[in-house]
Structure 1
Amino acid sequence: MKKRFLALLTIALGIGSVSAQSGDCTTKAALAYDDAKAKNYDSAYPALQDVRKECPKYSLATYQYLERALEYKIDKAEQGDKKELVEELISVWEQRLELYPNKTSKGKIYSDIALLKFDNKIGDKDEQYKAFDKAYTEDKDNFKSPKGLYAYFDLMVEMQDEGERTLQDVFDNYDRVFTKIEEEENEAAENLAPLLQKQEEGEQLTAKEQKQIKYAEINLANYSKVKEAINAKLGARADCDNLIPLYSKDFEAKKADVSWLKNANARLSAKDCTDDPLFIKVSEALHKLEPSAKSAYSLGQLAEAEGNSAKALEYYNEAAELETNKSDQAKIYYRIANNYQDKGSFGQARSFYRKALQAKPSLGSAYLQIANMYAKSANNCGEDAFSKRAVYWLAAEYASKAARVDPSIASNANQAAAAYKGRAPQKSDVFQSSKNAGDPISIGCWIGETVRIPSL
């Protein structure tokens, strides 16, 4: 009986101890969180440290608030005092990932850690590069930071300049980063497309949808800047004068290596090094060993250079059917469309520009080319002077869409849109036509679309 009483007493005391500890965590966390919410980080920081130490699994919020407090302190600290704070922030992120893996993006955490080291010059270039490489290799899908992707490439180029990496290493890294950026651009453009369609049709957008448009356009602009920056960084390293010697010296030894031929073919093709005999040798060797989208596309380029447009289109269509990479497929469709446009086959050209856009929604130049063809057809696709000029409204819509999905051509696209609007019916013309804003105008001939009179 006495033993049973002692056992019960021990259990009761244990429960009381756990409850007290839980209560302490709740009280401490509440006070720390209140200061953090008020952005009183000097006061919140030590309290959050205590919660993290004594109650590490209490709440994810501990790590979220501690991140903000440490970022604040790092920003305010003198350069010599930052390293310790940076290392603490890294440990906070790592502990959050360990304790809350289902609520933490591994790719984002690793890229944030890498950026923190990069910005604060912690470790040498190789160590910083490996930190970004960890984010890319372990969780590429969530490595989305435009600045982080640029730094990942920038470090590789700097190491190559210092003799620590080869030119081929630079090319390999460029391909990874550029492909990732294009994937993010496509995702942003795909999210943006239906919202722009609603906007163009005059539907009321919710506040959430307006924010989605804003964020998608910001992301597209940032990725466009990064692409421009990494292309500038790559610079003359990727011109024909460097590429041809690089691949010529290894061709005989590698001409049966499909992987090497694919890499050489893609690089020479991308930089239009198609006049050199090496390109012909690489393309033919690759197509013989493994007929593919890349080799068919290269043979199409050769046929086009020789003036055989029919044969070029045959190879390009074969390439498009074989291609599985959406961005590369879009490039092929775009080239086919250009060929048809050059021959005056606007309907065929538009069909392939649209295929290019299905594969790569951020390809604004395809919208701009359609706008250009519409403008060229204005006099042929209207029943009267008013409807002929109305074609320019449609052209302006396509040019404006080009600017919104592809910030890299926004300036030219917006200028084109403004020029088309200047040729379209003006307010006095609409008044004299007895039509009103919002009325549909059917455009005939090969265009076959309807445009609504805008509010002028």
Structure 2
Amino acid sequence: MIDGFKKENMTNSIKFKIMKTKITLLIALMFGLNVGFAQSNEECMTKLSLMTESAKAKNYEAAYQPFMDLRKDCPKYNKAIYVYGEKILNHYIDKSSGAEKVAYINDLIKMFDERMANFASESPAGEYLTEQCQLKYDNKAALGLSDQDLYNCFDAAYNTDKENFKNAKSLYVYFKLMVSLYDSGNKTAQNLFDKYDDVSEKIEAETAYNSKKLNELITKEDAGTALTKKEGKYKKYYGQMIEAFEKVQDGVDADLGDRANCENLIPLYKKDYEANKNNAVWLQRAMNKLYSKGCKDDPMFVTIVKQKNTLQPDASTAYYLYVITGEQKYLDQTMDLETDPFKKAKLYYRAALDFKNSGSYGKARQYFQEALSLNPSNKKPYEHIARMYAASANSCGDDNFNKRAVFWLAAIEADKSGNSSLASSYRAKAPTKSEIFTKGNAGQSIRIGCWIGRSVTVPNL
């Protein structure tokens, strides 16, 4: 029994020693791993510092190797790897040629994939897939890519993450490639028109977003609150984005050109109407296109508008009913139905243009001013008002001096629009200092008659 007891104690002792050894080894292993992680972390930090400091100094040759090491050994360490990596690789793309240039281009494309994989939450697919496509487009000759290859790239980016496909230049290129494929017979007219609508709707969405943000800052300023330095930068940024998207829309419209004229549109819509007469999106796009291309007098426009109004009445159908009938009740209904300030401002602006073009300047000014109150970031109404004043100078004064005084009013509105050259040209047409001296009315207020109904102060000498 004693021997059995000793054996059991010895067995337990051995088990304890084995367990103790395992724990010691585990602690040692964990300590070793921690040391390894610490060393690895320290190496990543050192290389990141070398890369960023060199890149900030535009010494991209010195930044290149640490950047490549970071991509390989510490791909998730810091987003700066990819931010500065883009600058580094673009430097090498710019200074290289031939096969070497192609290799750097492909490496930058690969790096965008790595960024999306390692920092997905901060690297929207729509943005970085578009970056890849734009890079390919900008280097299409070196890469040997066709318009179809490039269109497929942009189309995949758009369909993968439309919300973050926000690059104005890339939106234009996307549509330009569609036009090229249509002209070469590889896309149908319906493909072309659909893509035009896709891109135009995206431009409108981005313009609306930036306009809303800019209007918030303008309203704050108008209320007498000074903007912070950061807000001032944002104000400039939002204005630049609106301008960029407006230029893209102008480019897209120009590229579409006569490819979408009444002669092309009407037969297409007649052919497809029966199959799409219960498709509200198709009807909306069709009537928008027919209106914008001057086909509003065609019976097909009337048919589509009435069908859309039956299927899904809204502010746009009410407006087009006004266009067809000329009845004010439909225009009033348009403004009552639309609740979104940006869209409502567009409707007021569109109506104002129609009134201006028909010579109803008083009504046009009223609607331009409504558009300005809803969307103050859009300064175009001021220029239209200025041009209407200038066009009326000869008929809105009782003598030569007062007629030309209208140009002071026109210049004031042109200044508000930001068109300084137009404002200067109007001031040059206003009475001169010698004429003011002869008239003897410096500093006095002159009432301008007819539809203008405004007063203007004669400049002091």
TM-score by length of 2: 0.77
In structure 1, the residue matched to 2:81 is: 62
Structure 1 counterpart SS, 2:297:
coil
Work out which structure has the larger RCO, using CA pairs closer than 8 Å and 6 or more positions apart in sequence: 1
- Are 1:391 and 1:443, in contact at CA under 8 Å, matched by a contact in 2? no
- Are 1:190 and 1:361, in contact at CA under 8 Å, matched by a contact in 2? no
Change beyond 3 A, Cα 1:359–1:270: farther
1:295 aligns with 2:301: no
Give the alignment of 1:135-150 within 5 angstroms. 135-150=157-172
In structure 2, the residue matched to 1:100 is: 119
1:129 aligns with 2:144: no
Give the alignment of 1:287-366 within 5 angstroms. 287-303=309-325, 309=326, 311=327, 313-323=328-338, 329-338=344-353, 348-358=363-373, 361=376, 363-366=378-381
**C-alpha distance in structure 2 between counterparts of 1:53 and 1:240, whole Å:** 58
Gaps of 5+ in 2: 1-16
AA in 1 matched with 2:47: K
In structure 1, the residue matched to 2:382 is: 367
In structure 2, the residue matched to 1:176 is: 198
Change beyond 3 A, Cα 1:293–1:85: same
**C-alpha distance in structure 1 between counterparts of 2:460 and 2:113, whole Å:** 55
In structure 2, the residue matched to 1:39 is: 58
Displacement of 1:225 in angstroms is 3.4
**C-alpha distance in structure 1 between counterparts of 2:446 and 2:121, whole Å:** 53
1:156 aligns with 2:178: yes
Residue number among 2, 11, 33 corresponding to 2:30 in the alignment: 11
Displacement of 1:149 in angstroms is 0.6
1:165 aligns with 2:187: yes
In structure 2, the residue matched to 1:227 is: 249
In structure 2, the residue matched to 1:410 is: none
- Are 2:54 and 2:63, in contact at CA under 8 Å, matched by a contact in 1? yes
Residue number among 371, 396, 401 corresponding to 2:416 in the alignment: 401
- Are 1:74 and 1:82, in contact at CA under 8 Å, matched by a contact in 2? yes
**C-alpha distance in structure 2 between counterparts of 1:338 and 1:294, whole Å:** 16
In structure 1, the residue matched to 2:302 is: 280
Residue number among 236, 242, 245 corresponding to 2:267 in the alignment: 245
In structure 2, the residue matched to 1:118 is: 137
Larger radius of gyration between Structure 1 and Structure 2:
2
- Are 2:314 and 2:337, in contact at CA under 8 Å, matched by a contact in 1? yes
Displacement of 1:148 in angstroms is 0.3
- Are 2:442 and 2:458, in contact at CA under 8 Å, matched by a contact in 1? no
Deviations 1:23-51 (A, max 9, x none): 22222222222222221212321221111
Displacement of 1:228 in angstroms is 2.8
**C-alpha distance in structure 2 between counterparts of 1:299 and 1:285, whole Å:** 11
Structure 2 counterpart SS, 1:249:
helix
Deviations 1:365-412 (A, max 9, x none): 422233345557889999x9999987654532322333x4xxxxxxxx
**C-alpha distance in structure 2 between counterparts of 1:381 and 1:199, whole Å:** 35
In structure 2, the residue matched to 1:418 is: 424
**C-alpha distance in structure 1 between counterparts of 2:138 and 2:245, whole Å:** 19
**C-alpha distance in structure 2 between counterparts of 1:201 and 1:360, whole Å:** 16
- Are 2:215 and 2:375, in contact at CA under 8 Å, matched by a contact in 1? no
**C-alpha distance in structure 1 between counterparts of 2:150 and 2:291, whole Å:** 32
Change beyond 3 A, Cα 1:374–1:157: closer
Change beyond 3 A, Cα 1:422–1:248: same
Change beyond 3 A, Cα 1:401–1:111: farther
Displacement of 1:115 in angstroms is 0.6
- Are 2:157 and 2:165, in contact at CA under 8 Å, matched by a contact in 1? yes
Deviations 1:85-144 (A, max 9, x none): 222212222222222233334332121111112222255434422332343344434322
Deviations 1:234-274 (A, max 9, x none): 12210011111111223345445544433322221221112
In structure 2, the residue matched to 1:407 is: none
**C-alpha distance in structure 2 between counterparts of 1:5 and 1:201, whole Å:** 71
**C-alpha distance in structure 2 between counterparts of 1:253 and 1:246, whole Å:** 12
Displacement of 1:10 in angstroms is 3.1
- Are 1:381 and 1:443, in contact at CA under 8 Å, matched by a contact in 2? no
Between Structure 1 and Structure 2, how many residues are aligned?
Answer: 436
Deviations 1:413-456 (A, max 9, x none): 555422432355766759x7786xxxx97989997989899999
- Are 2:319 and 2:331, in contact at CA under 8 Å, matched by a contact in 1? yes
- Please say which of residues 251-260 and 265-274 is displaced more in the overlay: 251-260
**C-alpha distance in structure 1 between counterparts of 2:422 and 2:128, whole Å:** 42
Displacement of 1:349 in angstroms is 3.7
1:75 aligns with 2:97: no
**C-alpha distance in structure 2 between counterparts of 1:21 and 1:76, whole Å:** 33
Change beyond 3 A, Cα 1:10–1:260: closer
**C-alpha distance in structure 2 between counterparts of 1:425 and 1:194, whole Å:** 39
**C-alpha distance in structure 1 between counterparts of 2:58 and 2:115, whole Å:** 21
Change beyond 3 A, Cα 1:275–1:102: same
Gaps of 5+ in 1: 304-308, 405-412
**C-alpha distance in structure 2 between counterparts of 1:57 and 1:362, whole Å:** 41
- Please say which of residues 156-165 and 442-451 is displaced more in the overlay: 442-451
**C-alpha distance in structure 1 between counterparts of 2:35 and 2:405, whole Å:** 80
Q: Note the aligned Cα RMSD (angstroms).
A: 4.3
AA in 2 matched with 1:291: P
Change beyond 3 A, Cα 1:388–1:92: same
- Are 1:93 and 1:109, in contact at CA under 8 Å, matched by a contact in 2? yes
Give the alignment of 1:21-36 within 5 angstroms. 21-36=40-55
**C-alpha distance in structure 1 between counterparts of 2:273 and 2:288, whole Å:** 15
- Are 2:182 and 2:192, in contact at CA under 8 Å, matched by a contact in 1? yes
- Are 1:186 and 1:360, in contact at CA under 8 Å, matched by a contact in 2? no
Change beyond 3 A, Cα 1:17–1:259: closer
In structure 2, the residue matched to 1:268 is: 290
